[in-house]
Amino acid sequence: MIDLHCHSTVSDGRLSPAEVVRLAHQNGCTLLALTDHDHTGGLAEARAEAAALGLRFVSGVEISVTWHGNTVHIVGLDFDEGNAALQNLLAAVRQGRLKRLEAIAAKLEKKGIVGAYEGALALAANPEMVSRTHVADFLIQQGHVRNKQQAFTKYLGDGKSCAVPHQWAELADCVAAINGAGGLAVVAHPMRYGFSATAKRRLFEEFKALGGAGIEVHSGSCSKNDSLNYALLAERYGLLASAGSDFHRPGDFSGGILGACPELPKGCRPVWEHFKAV
Ligand code: AMP
Ligand code: MN
Ligand code: MN
Ligand code: MN
């Protein structure tokens, strides 16, 4: 039972790192990575809890990248989080979230929704990591939308009325930083970008040429058919296969069940077979 993609209060998840590990363990997980957005601050706590429970744990992070104008997420796995170059890259990526929040709040205010800046910050355990998820929570709290999905389709999703384009890390720098820290780089939830076949080919070829290791063949609540398709693409582009729930909070079914991803399709080469021995 494996899960190599989930979030805690260090980024936009609802549970503390230790709580994430405990719930994954309860769900039968035997190998876990915590992958907060652009931040490794939860890893020490999660690792200690996993050790106490006898659950195998590897380091993880989900890095925000801008690739040809699109936001793409790259998961780093099994790296040394003490690596200075990686930490410098993450610090640079985190910068600018507050400025972006200001711009999003200004756009919401033009729609008659006031207080999003303070409101989102009040809901973020880690202000440096304030995200669109926290803005969505504020919109739900204030009764402007019914749920997270509606917050994104109405206001916050890429290209929607209150979205603010943002420049994240370069793909090349991101992969180099993960590899430089001894880790493996994986394209997160490739089925969620809405890319054409051509864009996928470009992304996977470029990623592989830069030293990328794999792609998520299973993510969250993706369909079995998605998994089969991305298993074939992984094979075609010589990439390993990863699996992650993208869990953010209990009761949110857009993420999968924490700690318990379905088995990969036959023929996949699992990324975890390349993890350093513990
Ligand atoms: P940010 O890093 O601040 O741009 O926020 C991105 C986060 O918002 C993602 O990690 C998801 O948790 C969430 N998110 C992005 N797009 C959607 C969507 N269409 N529906 C639901 N959640 C989304
Ligand atoms: Mn998130
Ligand atoms: Mn993501
Ligand atoms: Mn994620």
Q: Is residue 114 part of a domain?
A: yes
54 CA distance to ligand 1 middle (Å): 32
35 CB near ligand 1 (under 6 Å): no
Q: Which atom of ligand 1 is nearest to the CA of 135?
A: 3
- The reply to whether ligand 1 has any atom less than 6 angstroms from the CB of 12 is yes
Q: What is the CATH number of the domain that holds 270?
A: 3.20.20.140
Domain containing 200: what range?
A: 2-90+167-274
Nearest ligand to the CA of 256 is 4
Q: Is the pLDDT of residue 278 over 70?
A: no
Any domain includes 223? yes
Pocket of ligand 1 contains residue 11 by CB under 6 Å:
no
Residue 64 Cβ < 6 Å to ligand 1: yes
Q: Are residues 232 and 198 in the same domain?
A: yes
One domain for residues 85 and 103? no
Q: Which ligand approaches the C-alpha of residue 152 most closely?
A: 1
Provide the pLDDT confidence category of residue 22 given band limits of 50, 70 and 90.
very high
Residue 71 sits in the same domain as residue 197: yes
List, for residues 117-143, the tens digit of each pLDDT value. Answer: 999 999 999 999 999 999 999 999 999
Lowest mean pLDDT across 29-33, 164-168, 254-258: 254-258
Mean pLDDT of 29-55: 98
Nearest CA to ligand 1 atom 16: 157
Q: Do residue 26 and residue 85 come from a single domain?
A: yes
Write the secondary structure of the chain as one string of H (helix), E (strand) and C (coil): CEECCECCCCCCCCCCHHHHHHHHHHCCCCEEECCCECCCCCHHHHHHHHHHHCCEEECEEEEEEEECCEEEEEEEECCCCCCHHHHHHHHHHHCCHHHHHHHHHHHHHHCCCCCHHHHHHHHCCCHHHCCHHHHHHHHHHCCCCCCHHHHHHHHHCCCCCCCCCCCCECHHHHHHHHHHCCCEEEECCHHHCCCCHHHHHHHHHHHHHCCCCEEEEEECCCCHHHHHHHHHHHHHCCCEEEEECCECCCCCCCCCCCCCCCCCCCCCCEHHHHCCCC
pTM metric for this prediction: 0.97
Q: Same domain for 129 and 184?
A: no
Tell me, yes or no, whether 162 lies in a domain: no
Same domain, 181 and 152: no
Is residue 187 scored above 90 in pLDDT?
yes
Task: Name the closest ligand to CA 136.
Answer: 1
Is the confidence at residue 253, as pLDDT, over 90?
Answer: no
Give yes or no for residue 157 CB within 6 A of ligand 1.
Answer: yes
Question: Where residue 120 sits, what CATH number does that domain have?
Answer: 1.10.150.650
Ligand 1 neighbour 158 (Cβ under 6 A): no
Q: What is the number of structural domains in the chain? A: 2
Q: Each residue of 101-116: pLDDT tens digit?
A: 999 999 999 999 999 9
Ligand 3 center to 154 CA (angstroms): 19
Query: Are 129 and 145 in the same domain?
Result: yes
Residue 13 CA to ligand 2 center (angstroms) comes to 7
